[in-house]
Amino acid sequence: MSSKNKTGSLQTTIHNAVATVQFGHPASNSFPRDLLNRLTSEINSLSTHSDVSVIVLQSEGDKVFCSGASFDELLEVENEEQGTEFFSGFAHLINAMRNCSKLIIARVQGKAVGGGVGIIAACDYALATPESAVKLSELAIGIGPFVIEPAVSRKIGKSAMTLMTLEGHEWKSAEWALQNKLFSAVHTANELDNAVETFVQKLSSYNPEALLEMKKIIWEGTELWESLLVERAAITGKLVLSDFTRKALLEFKK
């Protein structure tokens, strides 16, 4: 199963009860709204797939895992409704990952910024490389990591999330991300694929019913996210219209 157009690519392969979902976009694997929607639909579809026990989420290329929201689309937002609609894309994706009946494993081969960090945090386990530095740079463009914050804080704690946000001008190393539990393991680039394959094949050999019950336990207490993340999208959707953000986005594009 694959789809590719100007808003990016999405491809799914299924083998030995493992579904590998790969997304990509020419602009550093950023997410326009259409690609967010397609990935959300794919996660929802795989959740009901009886032949799948585990999902691997990965991206194209070898330098950047995900650079978050599409700056081009952010600059096209003209009112609060459009802003809320755009950022709701990340809200719906994180909720789909949270509600998915399958465990989701992230293969993080490179850097992640903003929404990319949120996607990693919404996975149940993440394997990365030493090159996989992370950053929450939203304050620098006049917004904040409001939609992804619950997922990030749940994974690394409120203090580490605050540190990442207030020091958004600095990259946090893969070692930092490992120490703060965003990453579950770090392997060299040459070892990453083998490590992912070994781990997910072992995981997929377990009782699917036990994996489902474990998934429910992992995400206990997040039921309010269904509405909370959309509320957070509205906050971001308003802020993205500010003169500060418009100017910052144009500077970043240059």
Class of 2-204 in CATH = alpha beta
What integer best gives the mean pLDDT of the chain?
A: 95
| Burial track 180-211 (b if 16+ CB lie within 10 A, e otherwise) | bebbbebeeeeebeebbeebbeebbeeebeeb
Is 163:104 a contact under the CB 8 Å cutoff? no
Give mean pLDDT, residues 123-137.
98
pLDDT band at 251 (very low <50, low <70, confident <90, very high): confident
pLDDT band at 249 (very low <50, low <70, confident <90, very high): confident
pLDDT band at 75 (very low <50, low <70, confident <90, very high): confident
What does the DSSP assignment read for 161-226?
A: HHHHHHTTTSPBPHHHHHHTTS-SEE--HHHHHHHHHHHHHHHHTS-HHHHHHHHHHHTTT-TTHH
Secondary structure class of 102 (helix, strand, coil): coil
Give mean pLDDT, residues 222-243.
96
pLDDT band at 5 (very low <50, low <70, confident <90, very high): low
Residue spans per domain, the chain: 2-204
Amino acid symbol at 145: P
Is 14:42 a contact under the CB 8 Å cutoff? no
pLDDT for 167 equals: 97
Percent of the chain at pLDDT exceeding 90? 91
Report field, pTM of the whole predicted structure over 0.85: yes
pLDDT tens per residue across span 76-119:
999 999 999 999 999 999 999 999 999 999 999 999 999 999 99
pLDDT tens per residue across span 29-53:
999 999 999 999 999 999 999 999 9
Determine the Cα–Cα distance for residues 161 and 145; give it in Å rounded to an integer: 9
234 φ/ψ angles, rounded to the nearest 5 degrees: -65, -35
pLDDT band at 136 (very low <50, low <70, confident <90, very high): very high
Is 43:103 a contact under the CB 8 Å cutoff? no
Determine the Cα–Cα distance for residues 198 and 195; give it in Å rounded to an integer: 5
pLDDT band at 2 (very low <50, low <70, confident <90, very high): low
Determine the Cα–Cα distance for residues 152 and 5; give it in Å rounded to an integer: 30
